[in-house]
Structure 1
Amino acid sequence: MKETSYWSRNFILILIGNALLFMVYNMQVPVLPLFGKKLGLTPAQIGIFVGAIMFAALLTRLFVPWFSGKFSKKVLLVVGILLYLLASVGYPLLGSFGLLVLLRLFNGLGHGITTTYFATSAAAELPANKIGEGMGYFGIGTMVTASLAPLLALAIVQQFSFTAFFLSCIGILFAAMLAILGTSQPKQPVIHTAKKAAIFDRQFIPQCSLVFILGVLMSGVMTFTPIYAQLKHLTAISWFFFVAAVAGVVIRPIVGRSFDQRGPRLVLLISTVLLTVGMVMIAFIDRNWLLVVAGIFYGVADGAIYPTLQAWVFKVTSVENRDTATGMFLNSYDLGMGLGAVVLGALVEDIQYQGMFLVLAVVGLIYIGLSLGLSRRWLA
């Protein structure tokens, strides 16, 4: 009974709302770089445009303790989705680099709020001994929609227009809003802000360090693989993201159970090796089938590392400190994503796309050793 109690109406609606929001996010992953390229932006400008969302999300999460003390999670999720909507309406209407970055910052405010409170709202529905498995299933909702997102997004752009794409994003965001409006606010004990964890807590340095580097690696793949594949005259980029998402869906329940039983070390070892192999494969892609295979490696790694690190954070923090712990964790990831997009965009202008992906492969090798060292020392 206890083991399945988290499959409540609230948990399901939160899962659906989160999945739909991330569908929009993952639809934008392959399209926004192409949208920026169409507008004439340079690789460095595309990196700033795409990465700006992460910096805004990071700053937003610094106010998580204040938000939690003033508003319910439901209200905060509604506000976050509205900010996402504002950005999606503005993208096709504003064509200058400065205004696009400004809109991306608004998008980032919404991203910071929603990613924090979707995760903590879901975790609040889970029993302590099923955090890994429960968050794994929660992540499956994200991965299922992510598997459809690139195919849908690129098909809309190719068959219709960028405007039609943004209208589709708006419709999906309205559906996410309806899911959240359908949830009920659970009764929670009053938590005094003074007793909450600080914005920075050294307890979470291992997980946050690892997720920061993961963000750098992911930003390189998500931002520049579509353009690199286009330059290589490859047509399977949508299938790259599709198989990556499917691989992530398949691996997450396995990863969740492994974490609950053995902790993070084994999962991190296998997945970081696969991630490094995927980076090398992307650097040398010259065939569509190779791009698809690289997507499998990337998808398994992404589907394993992130939820393992997130479950690890939930495992070592108290229930009342989850909001602030989640904010620190997500800020580390978004800082990696944001800095990665900007720095790697500048790097591309010096060493080209293949050189940039080879640099990421070297970072992946370092990541293997770092993952093993930190998970051994700080094993949950």
Structure 2
Amino acid sequence: MQTSYWSRNFILILIGNALLFMVYNMQVPVLPLYGKHLGMSPAQIGIFVGAIMFAALITRLFVPWFSDRFSKKVLLVVGILLYLLAAVGYPLLGSFGLLVFLRLFNGLGHGITTTYFATSAAAELPNDKIGEGMGYFGIGTMVTASLAPLLALDLVHRRGFAVFFLACIGILFAAMLAIFGTSKPTQPAVETVEAAPVFDRQFLPQCGLVFVLGVLMSGVMTFTPIYAEIRHLSVISGFFFVAAIAGVVIRPIVGRTFDHRGPRAILLLNTVLLTAGVLMIAFVDRNWLLLVAGVLYGVADGAIYPTLQAWIFKETTLANRDTATGMFLNSYDLGMGLGAVILGWVVEAVGYQGMFLVLTAVATIYIVLALLLSRHSRELGAA
């Protein structure tokens, strides 16, 4: 009988990652509102929110150097400490420039933690269970993400931004405790003959697709809370909640499907759902329509991202997995960062509804990209 991959290490890494992403997802609906509260323009909000992704991108360029000198455990602790520094500073700094500077520190922590949480989890999994294992790893993220908007928006409305940031600090401390509880990886270390490259052409299909996904996600996550207020809709926390629940439900199915059939069919179906969800947001005028859009968005997000991540893990080796993960996450964060900034300018030019219509056009192109770039992946289905 095959040994279960549900080791103590895997569970603690899953928990630590889930708690870190709970903080991230608590900030998703709140930081745009915080920026608006401080008097930022839509373009400034886009820069403020997107700065984390640019810092994360630069940080991951040094992944091979980090991996050669420090253990993943040490790097995760450092990354969480940088997240903590940002959470402490947000309520204390009021100027746009200082907040963006602090957001860059948050991005350093984000770049480190997202890389090494994912590779630490993958190191605990057998190769023939990568899709399923990373699917369950992602469920931890989605479960906490389902609670994050409800908790975050309720705290802000009832207690204010200061209490919200205190809650973020407490959750980050819990994430650090989980990492302190881990031991050395169960799989043997791999001897590295030479430094792995920062860029590898074989991963361009996955990285291209996750880049566009980042652009789409940045538009939805950054501007839907403000657009919902303008439309006088009261279920923005419900939007993120149902999206997260939909993602939790779909991930085990997606993981098993990937292990048996590869990524192609998953990507095609869910890019269509994503396009429908973004289009629905553009014309939403009822609370229930926003919730339906949340389900479509959540299913697509819960399927596309882990499919692309499992696909890149399937094609890399254990020796260069850190580098491949850094390249993959950099592509996503570049899309998130550029998307938030550029779409902020689009909002100023054509308004919020116009921006979501532009995003719908991008999502439509995404369907074609998924069809073209996943063509050579058919052999992965022969598991």
Looking at structure 2, the residues matched to 239 and 113 of structure 1 have their Cα atoms a distance apart, in angstroms, of 30
Partner of residue 98, structure 1: 97
Structure 1 runs of 4+ with >6 Å offset: none
**Aligned amino acid, residue 126 of structure 1:** L
- Residue 345 of structure 1 aligns with an amino acid whose one-letter code is G
Residues 285-335 of structure 1, C-alpha deviation per residue, up to 9 Å, x if partnerless? 101100000000000000000000000000000111100000000000000
- Please tell me whether the aligned partners of residues 69 and 193 of structure 1 are also in contact (alpha carbons under 8 angstroms): no
| Residue type of the alignment partner of 1:359 | V
Deviation, structure 1 residue 345: 0.3
* Aligned-residue offset at 1:378: 3.8
After superposition, the C-alpha distances for 1:73-108 in whole angstroms (9 at most, x for unaligned) are 000000000000000000000000000001100000
Contact 2:192/2:319 (8 A) holds in 1: no
Q: State the partner residue of 2:316.
A: 317
Q: How far apart are the structure 2 equivalents of 1:235 and 1:191?
A: 55
Give structure 1 stretches of 5+ with no counterpart. Answer: none
How many angstroms apart in 2 are the aligned matches of 1:275 and 1:132? 21
Equivalent position of 2:224 in the other structure: 225
What CA distance in whole angstroms lies between the structure 2 residues aligned with 1:193 and 1:340?
38
TM-score by length of 1: 0.98
Match of 2:111 in 1: 112
1:213 aligns with 2:212: yes
Superposition pairs of residues 115-126 of structure 1, within 5 angstroms: 115-126=114-125
Question: How far did residue 369 of structure 1 move?
Answer: 1.0
Specify whether residues 193 and 163 from structure 1 end up closer, same or farther in structure 2 by C-alpha distance, changes over 3 A only. Answer: farther
Distance 2:148 2:56 in 1: 22
User: What are the superposed Cα offsets for residues 91-140 of structure 1, whole Å, 9 maximum, x if unpaired?
Assistant: 00000000000110000000000000000000000000000000000000
Q: Which residue of 2 aligns with 1:191?
A: 191
Q: Which residue of 2 aligns with 1:62?
A: 61
- 1:96 partner letter: S
Matched position secondary structure for 2:285: coil
Distance in 2 separating the partners of 1:51 and 1:80: 18
Q: Distance in 2 between matches of 1:269 and 1:308?
A: 11
- In structure 2, the partner of 1:40 is 39
Decide whether the 8 Å contact of 1:198 with 1:324 is kept in 2.
yes
1:185 deviates by 1.7
The equivalent of 1:367 in structure 2 is 366
Structure-2 change in CA distance of 1:193 and 1:40 (3 Å)? farther
In structure 2, the residue corresponding to 1:234 is in which secondary structure? coil
Quick check: 1:244 aligned with 2:243?
yes
RMSD: 0.9
CA displacement, residues 1-52 of structure 1 (integer Å, 9 cap, x when unaligned): 43x5210000000000000000000000000000000000000000000000
CA offset at residue 193 of structure 1?
A: 5.8
Q: Is the CA contact 2:190–2:318 (under 8 Å) kept in the aligned structure 1?
A: no
2:259 counterpart residue number: 260
| SS of match in other structure, 1:89 | helix
Structure 2: any 5+ residue segments left out of the alignment?
Answer: none
Say yes or no: does 1:334 pair with 2:333. Answer: yes
Residue 303 of structure 2 corresponds to which residue in structure 1?
A: 304
In structure 2, C-alpha distance between the alignment counterparts of 1:88 and 1:333, rounded to whole Å: 23
Query: Contact 2:264–2:377 (CA<8 Å) still a contact in 1?
Result: no
Distance, in Å, in 1 between the alignment partners of 2:316 and 2:33 is: 40
Separation in 1 of the partners of 2:43 and 2:277?
Answer: 24
Q: Which amino acid aligns with 1:192?
A: T
CA contact (8 A) 2:91 2:165 kept: yes
Taking the aligned partners of 1:83 and 1:123, their CA distance within structure 2 comes to 24
Shift of 1:189: 2.6
Residue 111 of structure 2 aligns to a residue whose secondary structure is helix
**In the alignment, which residue of structure 2 is the partner of 1:143?**
142
- 2:353 alignment partner in structure 1: 354
| Cα deviation code 1:261-290 (max 9, x no counterpart) | 000011001100000000100000101100
Number of equivalent positions: 378
Q: Percent identity?
A: 79
CA shift digits 1:324-355 (9 cap, x unpaired):
00000000000000000000000100000101
1:239 positional shift: 0.1
Q: Which amino acid aligns with 2:174?
A: A
Distance in 1 of aligned mates of 2:366 and 2:201: 20
Task: Give the C-alpha shift of residue 190 in structure 1.
Answer: 4.8
Matches within 5 A, 1:72-83: 72-83=71-82
